[in-house]
């Protein structure tokens, strides 16, 4: 596991002996899953008692990590669901690797390994690039009980392929500046009004300053990753988007939901990161996901 970009006090102790009680849920305990052959660390939050509900496997996007899902992990464990947040290779607590040697296929293999280890029949929940990984894994590689895509990146069937010069401009490895997060926190907070200033500072810190995301993976994503949606027949799918009606992200989520024949919801006052870790905004989304899980008895 790598401590890169983590303050000494940032890493949390984990283990079955640590118990906590959310303000509005059941007691939870923390655990961990390691997949040493892939250098993957999975952060797990578990209900005090096991239930028949399907485990949730949470997959982050660019420069993310299990930190992205902390509020979801607490929320769902407090209501009886196991939550397992993967750290893809070279992200957060997982093993260090040269980002130039990583690709969408690498990340897909990491995702499949985690789903198979946590499964069978887990629910895959993905954010951004993690949504695309969850979608392709569920369609082609591993059986899931349900699929939730939060501002998921579009597959090739819905994406206009990037132009050659756009792909050429992607550096071999990039950091938060490439995503527009290397600026004044106050400016970011104005642009993401569902995030508190503390939320913004935490995201900036945990995205890190070093160029450690794979440019090759981003180029492959923008060029178009093929997914066969027919292979998801029978799998309940929920697509959630951020942004007001007519915004790029809202339209993208609508197209993806139509393409998949999925349930769909747009949160017009939410930002991309606000869907998952806004101090207040995350709860509305988590409750919509809970409704989806309960309605399908998963």
Question: How many independent structural domains does the chain possess?
Answer: 1
Using DSSP, state whether 1 is helix, strand or coil.
coil
Residue 181 lies in a domain: no
Residue 237: inside a domain, yes or no?
A: yes
The pLDDT, as a whole number, for residue 25 is 63
What are residue 213's DSSP bridge partners?
174
Report the distance separating Cα 231 and Cα 225, nearest Å: 15
Q: Which domain holds residue 21?
A: 15-168+217-295
In a domain, 135, yes or no: yes
Locate 73 and state its tokens. 């992990």
The answer to whether residue 55 is domain-embedded is yes
Q: Give the whole-angstrom CA distance, residue 249 versus residue 291.
A: 23
In order, the DSSP letters of 130-147 are HHHHHHHHHHHT---SEE
pLDDT at 61: 98
Domain membership of residue 283 (yes or no) is yes
| 46 within some domain | yes
Structure tokens at 273: 């990161």
* Angstrom distances, CA of residue 10 to CA of 4, 5, 34, 81, 114: 11, 10, 19, 25, 24
Instruction: Look up residue 204 and give its two tokens.
Output: 């900036």
Bridge partners (DSSP) listed for residue 45: 30, 83
194: in domain: no
Rounded-to-integer distance, Cα 271 and Cα 250, Å:
11
Query: What is d(CA 288, CA 44) in angstroms, rounded to the nearest whole number?
Result: 22
CATH classification at residue 127:
3.40.50.1820
Cβ neighbour number for residue 185 with a 10 Å cutoff: 16
Q: Using CA atoms, how far apart are residues 214 and 222, in angstroms rounded to an integer?
A: 13
Q: 3-state SS string over 74-122? A: HHHHCCCCCEEEEECCCCCCCCCCCHHHCCHHHHHHHHHHHHHHHCCCC
- pTM comes to 0.91
Q: Where are the beta strands (DSSP E) in the chain?
A: 15-20, 28-35, 40-47, 56-59, 83-87, 123-127, 146-150, 173-174, 213-214, 237-242, 263-267
Phi–psi pair at 23, nearest 5 degrees: -60, -30
Mean pLDDT by 10 residues, the chain (298 residues): 38 39 70 95 93 95 98 96 97 95 98 94 97 97 96 95 92 97 97 96 95 97 93 94 91 96 97 95 97 97
Alpha-carbon distance of 174 to 181, in angstroms, equals: 12
Q: Is 192 a domain residue? A: no
Q: Which two tokens stand for residue 145?
A: 């009980």
């Amino acid at each position: 596991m790598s401590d890169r970009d983590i303050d000494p006090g940032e890493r949390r102790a984990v283990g079955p002996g640590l118990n906590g009680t959310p303000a509005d849920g059941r007691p939870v305990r923390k655990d961990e899953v390691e997949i040493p052959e892939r250098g993957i660390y999975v952060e797990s939050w578990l209900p005090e008692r096991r239930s028949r509900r399907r485990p949730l496997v949470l997959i982050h996007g660019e420069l993310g990590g299990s930190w992205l899902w902390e509020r979801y992990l607490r929320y769902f464990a407090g209501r009886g669901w196991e939550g397992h947040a993967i750290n893809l290779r070279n992200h957060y607590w997982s093993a260090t690797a040269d980002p130039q040697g990583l690709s969408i296929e690498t990340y897909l293999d990491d995702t499949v390994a985690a789903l198979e280890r946590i499964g069978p029949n887990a629910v895959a929940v993905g954010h951004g690039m993690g949504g695309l990984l969850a979608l392709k894994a569920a369609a082609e590689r591993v059986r899931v009980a349900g699929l939730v895509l939060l501002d998921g990146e579009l597959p090739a069937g819905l994406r206009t392929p990037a132009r050659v010069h756009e792909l050429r401009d992607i550096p071999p490895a990039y950091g938060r500046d490439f995503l527009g997060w290397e600026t004044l926190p106050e400016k970011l907070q104005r642009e993401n009004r569902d995030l508190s200033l503390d939320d913004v500072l935490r995201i900036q810190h945990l995205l890190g300053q070093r160029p450690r995301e794979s440019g090759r993976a981003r180029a492959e994503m923008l060029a178009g990753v093929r997914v066969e949606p027919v292979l998801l027949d029978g799998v309940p799918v929920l697509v959630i988007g951020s942004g007001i009606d007519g915004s790029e992200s809202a339209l993208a989520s609508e197209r993806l939901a139509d393409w998949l024949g999925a349930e769909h919801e747009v949160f017009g006052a939410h930002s991309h990161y606000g869907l998952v870790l806004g101090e207040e905004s995350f709860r509305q989304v988590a409750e919509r996901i809970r409704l989806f899980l309960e309605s399908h008895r998963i």
